[in-house]
Amino acid sequence: MSTLHILWGSQSGNAQNLANVIGNSLEDEFQVEVHDMGALSPEMISSISTLLLVTSTYGDGEAPDNASEWYSFLKFGEELNLSHLSYAVIGLGDTYYPHFCQASKDFDEFLSKHGARSLINRLDCDLYYEEQYPEWVEELKSVLKVDFPV
């Protein structure tokens, strides 16, 4: 069975926790690895076939510090071909800010621009993300059951 790679970009821990919680809820049915984006070279994306990206937004609509290398790599990688990759993105943010969930929106756009295939519509969560993510994760699970390389 191939591996679902869950990568998290987080400034103060929420997205990190969420990535681990989602990882735990999927690991009975799928082979899962959870990674800090800051600890994994973005070039590794060429060897990932299924990706779940969990990121918050910080600053003025920016990616968290530990996700900045991946952000630049995907934003500026003109020659990147990600047609081997299926992905899902879930964002954490706060509608109080003008650039609500900008980092998750950007990651989704970059991945798609390079030819990766979206498995499910991105979910951008507000501060009450704990009420929002479970339904989305259930939908993701259903999609993965029929669309996960063995």
Ligand X SMILES: Cc1cc2nc3c(=O)[nH]c(=O)nc-3n(C[C@H](O)[C@H](O)[C@H](O)COP(=O)(O)O)c2cc1C
Which residues make up the interface to ligand X (CB under 6 A)?
10-15, 56-61, 64, 92-94, 97, 99-102
Q: Kindly state the smallest distance separating residue 1's Cβ from ligand X, in Å.
A: 29
Of 10 and 50, CB closest to ligand X = 10
Of 62 and 139, CB closest to ligand X = 62
The single residue listed with the structure tokens 């790679």 is: 5
Q: Kindly state the smallest distance separating residue 14's Cβ from ligand X, in Å.
A: 3
Please tell me the distance from the alpha carbon of residue 75 to that of residue 84, in angstroms, as a whole number: 18
Contact 83, 111 (CB under 8 A): no
Q: Kindly state the smallest distance separating residue 15's Cβ from ligand X, in Å.
A: 3
Pairing of strands 123-125, 3-9: unpaired
Of 58 and 133, CB closest to ligand X = 58
Contact 8, 19 (CB under 8 A): yes
